[in-house]
């Protein structure tokens, strides 16, 4: 019994240390996710935090300036102006209408300054709603294709 | 072929449901024919799923672009080699591939256990068929890979429409390793179904004795080997293809594969407590359950994207099915456990802190803590959203902060644990076993410090690595010396003989040695450097001892892409070492660009060069160079781990009598032999 008590004590110390390390790790690296809509309501302390916002890049909005790249992301009718200031080149998937995930801070003027941009072109590999490729009639699932389109799918 | 494929899967689903039903009926009525028919039905499922998978592969090979899945993931000019890889490139195909691998496992379990364990196997059949049923539901009803493209033709009738060409395979997947990595990882994920089935079967059937634990351990070992290999291949793929200079980023998908590996590793250790001392039975059975559930959870994370992107979850119809299946399986596990928990009563208690038992307990404690930390960090966005209403993610600093100390403690236990005696270890034997290795480790640390090894964790890792290597080598040395002096053969044949006499023990040491190499490799990350600059031809870049001279940029065609290639000369201390050709490839089928990295790899360090893109201002090429010390050790360590796992699975080569004879009480080095013999007697008496 004494040995068991000792074991539990040592195990407890280990667990407490790890919990503490974990807590420190969380405070150091936590990043808030917001939707563009929620971003409008973020104020005070929380506005200075590191955050991540996702959206689709508005077609034609990408402007490459020296030292930064400006673009606009949209999500459910709301839009956000973003300036990318990171030093890594933007990913190849970063194109008009791609899904982008930007990480950085919100400036007081409402512009988002991103240090990191991830982009994915999901629609290239997965069938997306209403997506068509030039030169082909690609239709996949009738559920994903709202009316008005000629093609639909069957099993 | 689409219809044939769908048909095989539907029939497979029917057979799987039958196997579950007939199996349960057979067990409760004790009717041998019902039990037998369940087994046959289960084998039929395997054959049907194999046929279904073969028909999808066929559709890929003949470029049938009337199939939606083929059209999305292949194209005419895609090399045939990658057409196989395209099989598991998307959700539908990879879930079918899950079923296929499961079919392989189920078939090999059923065939290799033919006529054995008549009390246990019916339960095993039911559990495995239950898992097959779930995946076949997904394959048939939810995300079938055999959907065809159709359009409304003349007179309003639906007609199959074939595309002229497919959209091509994601360029990131067009890499040789991507052909091997997913099957290996899947063999690991899916394989845990087998230990799970045996553990649940033994619990449900109150199977007498410990035979099931031997079977479970063996299968866990096999799948653990595949999972380890799969994880390392994945890390290598990320390193060699994704081009961000690293191999592990604590991405949810990576974490998903690490979690079952951690619990599986914990089980492989704690199972020895049950075999030798009859302890931790409850714990072990739950480790097996948890490992299996984490494998299913891992597949779910990988396929549904619940964590990395909220949007994918809603789009994918498989999410609720997976959650439902995991909850159902968990409920069955809990029910079986509550019903039969007296079956798992422990026979012994912990005797001393300085014993093999306590080292295993600590090993398990921290492996589970690591698993929990990884799970917590991965699900943090989901948890924080549920609790606080805001989605918060945690990044690599969180995972590193928790897992680096855990990993180092584990490394320490790797050195200490195997040499501690069962029950209680004397201080004297501690000094004898650990004196030299510990001294060697400290000396290595003392040498490394002035040479610039100033990172605390890296230094601790170095000291511990030398210490652990020392203990392992001294084990081989002592054992082999005894054998070679007795048989008169040379020392190395002594090592070989020693290993073959107790493959489990010495194979385990080899695995540990491989892990030490992996640790050394990972610790090199503390000294990574990188530089990025615009490099028109004629310019040079300096990184560490290397100089990169940019010579030219050329455009060249590939089979299904056009490459823009940079030609760089790498010099080390002024002498030419290698030409490097990082590329950017444009794939017209998918209209996507990807990068091909160039690596000059040595045991000391990797020079890793990425053609990152062109500057938005002046269109000048940008190159990013990384200097990553010791990375090669990780891959070497991986090979050693897999080799060691293979050794563990070999049968021991000497009859117990011979081993007992050779155990002399006089020489201290003969402790090894005595222990070998004792271990074997112990196992022998149980049979």
Q: Quick: pLDDT tens for B467-483.
A: 999 999 988 888 888 88
Where residue B672 falls among pLDDT bands split at 50, 70, 90?
very low
In this prediction, residues B461-465 reach a mean pLDDT of 92
End-to-end CA distance of chain B: give it in Å, rounded: 51
Which residues in chain B have their CB less than 8 angstroms from residue A64's CB?
616-617
- For the whole prediction, is pTM greater than 0.95? no
Where residue B295 falls among pLDDT bands split at 50, 70, 90?
very high
| pLDDT: which is higher, A31 or A91 | A31
Nearest chain B residue to A46 by CA: give it.
Answer: B390
Evaluate if residue B665 carries a pLDDT over 70.
no
Evaluate if residue A155 carries a pLDDT over 50.
no
Contact between B612 and A88 using a beta-carbon 8 Å cutoff: yes
Contact between A28 and B309 using a beta-carbon 8 Å cutoff: no
Contact between B380 and A93 using a beta-carbon 8 Å cutoff: no
Contact between A25 and B398 using a beta-carbon 8 Å cutoff: yes
Contact between B350 and A4 using a beta-carbon 8 Å cutoff: yes
> CB distance from A32 to chain B under 8 Å?
yes
Residue B624 has φ and ψ, to the nearest 5°, of -125, 120
Query: Which of A41-45, B53-57, B404-408, B538-542 bottoms out in mean pLDDT, i.e. has the lowest?
Result: A41-45
- DSSP 8-state symbol, B435: H
> CB distance from A12 to chain B under 8 Å?
no
Interface with chain A: mutation pick from B178, B305, B395, B615, highest number of A CBs within 10 Å: B395
Nearest CA distance, B536 vs chain A (angstrom)? 16
Evaluate if residue A122 carries a pLDDT over 70.
no
Distance (Å, rounded) from C-alpha B112 to C-alpha A59?
59
Nearest to B381 among A14, A29, A33 (CB): A33
Tell me whether 0.90 is exceeded by the ipTM: no
Strand, helix or coil at B497? Answer: helix
Which whole-number Å values give the CA distances from B675 to B190, B357, B485, B655, in the listed order? 36, 16, 18, 15
Query: Which of A137-141, B279-283, B286-290, B334-338 bottoms out in mean pLDDT, i.e. has the lowest?
Result: A137-141
Is residue B19 within 8 Å of residue B45, measured between CB atoms? yes
Contact between B394 and A31 using a beta-carbon 8 Å cutoff: yes
Contact between B151 and A124 using a beta-carbon 8 Å cutoff: no
Give the whole-number percent of chain A exceeding pLDDT 90: 1
Is residue B277 within 8 Å of residue B210, measured between CB atoms? no
Nearest CA distance, B30 vs chain A (angstrom)? 41
Evaluate if residue A153 carries a pLDDT over 50.
no
Q: Quick: pLDDT tens for A59-89.
A: 888 888 777 888 998 888 888 899 988 777 7
Which residues in chain B have their CB less than 8 angstroms from residue A136's CB?
163-165
Contact between B350 and A3 using a beta-carbon 8 Å cutoff: yes
Contact between B592 and A11 using a beta-carbon 8 Å cutoff: no
Nearest chain B residue to A24 by CA: give it.
Answer: B398
Evaluate if residue A90 carries a pLDDT over 80.
no
Give the whole-number percent of chain B exceeding pLDDT 90: 38
Which residues in chain B have their CB less than 8 angstroms from residue A117's CB?
none
Contact between B72 and A126 using a beta-carbon 8 Å cutoff: yes
Distance (Å, rounded) from C-alpha A130 to C-alpha B644?
52
Contact between B311 and A28 using a beta-carbon 8 Å cutoff: no
Q: What is the pLDDT of residue A147?
A: 28
Contact between A25 and B402 using a beta-carbon 8 Å cutoff: yes
Which residues in chain A have their CB less than 8 angstroms from residue B91's CB?
126
Q: What is the pLDDT of residue B159?
A: 74
Distance (Å, rounded) from C-alpha B503 to C-alpha B650?
6
Contact between B617 and A66 using a beta-carbon 8 Å cutoff: yes
Distance (Å, rounded) from C-alpha B97 to C-alpha B102?
8
- DSSP 8-state symbol, B663: -
Contact between A30 and B394 using a beta-carbon 8 Å cutoff: yes
Give the whole-number percent of chain B exceeding pLDDT 70: 93
Distance (Å, rounded) from C-alpha B228 to C-alpha B640?
11
Nearest to residue B618, comparing CAs of A115, A64, A114? A64
**Residue ranges of E strands in B181-270:** none
Which residues in chain B have their CB less than 8 angstroms from residue A7's CB?
350, 353, 358, 361
Evaluate if residue B183 carries a pLDDT over 80.
yes
- Count Cβ atoms below 10 Å from residue B335 Cβ, excluding itself: 11
Nearest CA distance, A77 vs chain B (angstrom)? 16
In this prediction, residues B79-84 reach a mean pLDDT of 85
Contact between B613 and A127 using a beta-carbon 8 Å cutoff: no
Evaluate if residue B2 carries a pLDDT over 90.
no
Q: What is the pLDDT of residue B108?
A: 94
Where residue B166 falls among pLDDT bands split at 50, 70, 90?
confident
Distance (Å, rounded) from C-alpha B64 to C-alpha B165?
9
Interface with chain A: mutation pick from B353, B614, B615, highest number of A CBs within 10 Å: B353
Query: Which of B255-269, B391-405, B419-433, B437-451 bottoms out in mean pLDDT, i.e. has the lowest?
Result: B419-433
Residue pairs spanning A and B at CB distance below 8 A:
171
Q: Would you put residue B423 in left (φ > 0), alpha (ψ -120 to 50) or beta?
A: left
Q: What is the pLDDT of residue B315?
A: 55
In this prediction, residues A110-138 reach a mean pLDDT of 53
Nearest chain A residue to B65 by CA: give it.
Answer: A138
Query: Which residues lie below 8 Å from residue B534, measured CB to CB, with a gap of 6+?
Result: B615, B618, B620, B621, B622
Nearest to residue B506, comparing CAs of B378, B324, B646, B636? B646
Interface with chain A: mutation pick from B66, B85, B306, B309, highest number of A CBs within 10 Å: B309
Where residue A45 falls among pLDDT bands split at 50, 70, 90?
low
Strands A68-75 and B621-629: unpaired
Evaluate if residue A44 carries a pLDDT over 60.
yes
Q: What is the pLDDT of residue B654?
A: 63
Q: What is the pLDDT of residue B309?
A: 45
Q: Where are the domains of chain B?
A: 1-151+160-174, 176-425, 526-632, 655-687
- Count Cβ atoms below 10 Å from residue A65 Cβ, excluding itself: 10
Q: Quick: pLDDT tens for B195-211.
A: 999 999 999 988 877 78
Strands A51-57 and B391-393: unpaired
Evaluate if residue B220 carries a pLDDT over 90.
yes
Interface with chain B: mutation pick from A5, A15, A19, A26, highest number of B CBs within 10 Å: A26
Residue B607 has φ and ψ, to the nearest 5°, of -100, 120
In this prediction, residues B489-509 reach a mean pLDDT of 86
Nearest CA distance, B337 vs chain A (angstrom)? 24
Highest mean pLDDT (candidates B100-109, B373-382, B649-658): B100-109
Evaluate if residue B100 carries a pLDDT over 90.
yes
Distance (Å, rounded) from C-alpha B106 to C-alpha B114?
12
Residue B118 corresponds to which tokens in the numbers above?
Answer: 């008549």
Which fold does the domain B526-632 belong to in CATH? Tick-borne Encephalitis virus Glycoprotein; domain 1 (2.60.98)
Q: What is the pLDDT of residue A111?
A: 86
Distance (Å, rounded) from C-alpha B284 to C-alpha B269?
10
Q: What is the pLDDT of residue B522?
A: 92
Q: What is the pLDDT of residue B39?
A: 93
Q: Quick: pLDDT tens for B527-570.
A: 888 888 888 888 999 998 899 999 988 888 888 788 889 999 99
Q: What is the pLDDT of residue B308?
A: 54
Contact between B590 and A126 using a beta-carbon 8 Å cutoff: no
Q: Quick: pLDDT tens for B583-623.
A: 888 887 777 778 888 999 999 889 999 888 877 667 788 88
Evaluate if residue B306 carries a pLDDT over 80.
no
């Amino acid at each position: 019994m004494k040995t068991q008590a000792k074991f539990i004590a040592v195990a407890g110390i280990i667990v407490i240390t790890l919990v503490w390390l974990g807590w420190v790790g969380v405070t150091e690296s936590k990043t808030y996710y917001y939707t563009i809509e929620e971003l409008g309501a973020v104020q005070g302390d929380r506005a200075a935090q590191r955050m991540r916002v996702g959206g689709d890049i508005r077609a034609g909005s990408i402007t490459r300036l020296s030292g930064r790249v400006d673009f606009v992301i949209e999500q459910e009718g709301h839009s956000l102006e973003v300036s990318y200031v990171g030093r890594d080149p933007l990913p190849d998937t970063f194109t008009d209408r791609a899904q982008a995930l930007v990480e950085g801070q919100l400036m007081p003027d409402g512009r988002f300054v991103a240090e990191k941009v991830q982009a994915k072109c999901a629609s290239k590999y997965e069938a997306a709603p209403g997506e068509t490729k030039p030169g082909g009639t690609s239709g996949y699932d009738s559920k994903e294709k709202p009316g008005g389109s000629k093609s639909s799918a069957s099993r | 072929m689409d219809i044939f494929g769908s048909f095989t899967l539907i029939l497979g689903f029917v057979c799987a449901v039958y196997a579950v039903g007939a199996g349960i009926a057979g067990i409760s009525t004790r009717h041998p024919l019902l039990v037998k028919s369940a087994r046959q039905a289960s084998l039929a499922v395997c054959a049907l799923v194999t046929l279904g998978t073969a028909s999808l592969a066929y559709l890929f090979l003949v470029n049938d672009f009337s199939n939606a899945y083929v059209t999305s993931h292949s194209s005419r000019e895609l090399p045939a080699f990658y057409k196989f890889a395209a099989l598991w490139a998307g959700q539908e195909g990879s879930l079918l591939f899950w079923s296929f691998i499961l079919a392989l496992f189920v078939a090999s379990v059923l065939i290799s256990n033919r006529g054995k364990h008549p009390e246990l196997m019916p339960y095993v059949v039911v559990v495995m068929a239950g898992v097959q049923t779930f995946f076949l539901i997904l394959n048939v009803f939810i995300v079938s890979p055999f959907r065809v493209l159709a359009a409304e033709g003349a007179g309003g009738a639906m007609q199959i429409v074939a595309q002229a060409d497919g959209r091509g395979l994601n360029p990131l997947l067009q890499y040789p390793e991507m052909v091997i990595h997913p099957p290996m990882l899947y063999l690991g994920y899916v394989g845990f179904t087998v230990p799970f089935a045996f553990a649940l079967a033994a619990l449900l059937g109150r199977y007498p004795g410990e035979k099931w634990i031997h079977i479970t351990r063996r299968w866990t070992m096999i799948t653990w080997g595949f999972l380890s290999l799969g994880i390392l291949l994945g890390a290598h793929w990320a390193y060699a293809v994704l081009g961000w200079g690293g191999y592990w980023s604590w991405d949810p998908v990576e974490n998903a594969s690490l979690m079952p590996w951690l619990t599986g590793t914990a089980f492989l250790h704690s199972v020895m407590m049950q075999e030798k001392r009859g302890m931790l039975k409850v714990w072990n059975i739950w480790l097996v359950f948890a490992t299996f559930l984490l494998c299913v959870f891992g597949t779910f994370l990988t396929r549904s994207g619940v964590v990395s992107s909220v949007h994918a979850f809603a789009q994918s119809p498989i999410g609720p099915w997976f959650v439902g299946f995991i909850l159902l399986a968990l409920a069955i596990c809990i029910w079986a456990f509550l019903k039969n928990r007296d079956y798992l009563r422990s026979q012994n208690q912990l005797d001393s802190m300085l014993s093999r038992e306590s080292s295993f307990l600590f090993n398990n404690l921290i492996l589970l803590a690591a698993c929990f930390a990884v799970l917590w960090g991965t699900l943090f966005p989901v948890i924080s959203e549920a609790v606080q209403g805001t989605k918060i993610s945690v990044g690599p600093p969180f995972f590193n902060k928790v897992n680096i100390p855990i990993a180092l403690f584990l490394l320490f236990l790797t050195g200490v644990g195997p040499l501690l005696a069962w029950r209680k270890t004397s201080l004297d034997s501690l000094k004898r076993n650990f004196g030299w290795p510990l001294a060697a480790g400290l000396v290595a640390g003392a040498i490394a410090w002035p040479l610039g090894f100033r990172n605390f964790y890296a230094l601790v890792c170095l000291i511990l690595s030398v210490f652990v290597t020392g203990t392992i080598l001294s084990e081989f040395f002592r054992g082999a010396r005894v054998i070679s002096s007795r048989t008169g053969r040379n020392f190395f044949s002594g090592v070989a003989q020693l290993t073959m006499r107790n493959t489990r023990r010495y194979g385990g040491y080899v695995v540990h040695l491989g892990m030490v190499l992996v640790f050394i490799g990972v610790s090199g990350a503390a000294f990574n450097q990188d530089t990025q600059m615009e490099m028109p031809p004629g310019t040079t870049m300096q990184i560490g001892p290397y100089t990169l001279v940019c010579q030219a940029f050329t455009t060249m065609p590939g089979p299904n892409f056009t490459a823009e290639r940079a030609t760089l000369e790498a010099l080390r201390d002024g002498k030419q070492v290698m030409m490097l050709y990082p590329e950017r490839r444009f794939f017209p089928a998918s209209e996507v660009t990807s990068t091909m990295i160039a690596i000059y790899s040595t045991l000391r360090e990797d020079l890793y060069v990425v053609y990152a893109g062109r500057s938005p201002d002046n269109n000048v090429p940008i190159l990013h160079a990384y200097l990553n010390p010791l990375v090669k050790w990780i891959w070497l360590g991986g090979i050693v781990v897999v080799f060691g796992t293979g050794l563990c699975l070999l049968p021991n080569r000497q009859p117990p009598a011979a081993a007992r004879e050779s155990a002399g009480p006089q020489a201290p080095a003969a402790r090894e032999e005595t222990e070998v013999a004792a271990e074997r007697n112990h196992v022998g008496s149980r049979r």
